[in-house]
Amino acid sequence: MKNKRAQFFLVAALVMTMIMISLATITTLASAPPEDLAIFDLSKEIAYEGAQILDHGVIRDLTPESLQQKITDISKHYATLHRDSDFLVVYGDELTLKTFHYTQENVGTVGINTGSGENVGQPLTLPTANVITDLVQDGKHIKVILPNQREVEFDLNPGQNFFLVVEKSDETQRIVTTAGSGPVEITRTRQIQ
């Protein structure tokens, strides 16, 4: 009788061990792709820079044209540095709201012709600023409709505002972050295509 009882506990221990090993294997296989955290830091950094430009413009009493040039310069700078991302920049007050959408446009390839008839090269993209005019404003609430028919919504604060949307896509996911003037708030959206 004791031998059968020992055999039962031995078999039960083996079955439990097999179940635990199979569960550990399943959880290891069910993992998400790594998230690119640099894009969230980038959106906070650009939102901070934009807010500083607006503050500087208000303190120094810069003209709207000068302020627009400074915002355009810094936006183009970041769009050039981060060619794998698209940027939507919205700034101004309730009456003078400006929107720019920086996308990467393919302008050709840069390569070497080795004489074999095949061109070896890399595609060349440059940031292109498109002025967005498809904008719905309802008091202090604005809705920007992007060329791909995606909508982005913001609430305006009193005075000058600076809002930014950074979008980065690859084969498996699209990451969208938004940051705005006032207390900078990061919203993470991650969609697997």
pLDDT exceeds 70 at position 64: yes
The answer as to whether 7 is a domain residue is no
The answer as to whether 20 is a domain residue is no
The answer as to whether 99 is a domain residue is yes
Alpha helices in 30-131 (DSSP H): 38-60, 64-81
What's the pLDDT tens digit per position in 65-112?
Answer: 888 888 888 888 888 888 778 888 888 777 778 888 888 777 777 777
The pLDDT of residue 32: 61
What's the pLDDT tens digit per position in 152-165?
Answer: 888 887 777 778 78
SS3 state of residue 14: helix
The pLDDT of residue 12: 92
The answer as to whether 30 is a domain residue is no
CA distance 35 to 41: 12
Contacts of 152 (CB under 8 A, 6+ apart): 88, 143, 144, 146, 165, 178
Domain, as residue range, for 165:
37-108+117-192
Question: How many other CB atoms sit within 10 Å of the CB of residue 130?
Answer: 14
The answer as to whether 188 is a domain residue is yes
Q: How far is CA 193 from the centre of its chain?
A: 15
The pLDDT of residue 183: 36
Question: Contact at 8 Å (CB) between 175 and 35?
Answer: yes
Nearest CA-CA partner of 79 in 51, 35, 49, 121: 49
What's the pLDDT tens digit per position in 8-30?
Answer: 889 999 999 999 887 776 555 55
First-to-final CA distance of the chain = 60
The pLDDT of residue 127: 74
SS3 state of residue 49: helix
The answer as to whether 24 is a domain residue is no
The answer as to whether 6 is a domain residue is no
In the chain, the number of structural domains is 1
Sole residue written with tokens 């404003």: 137
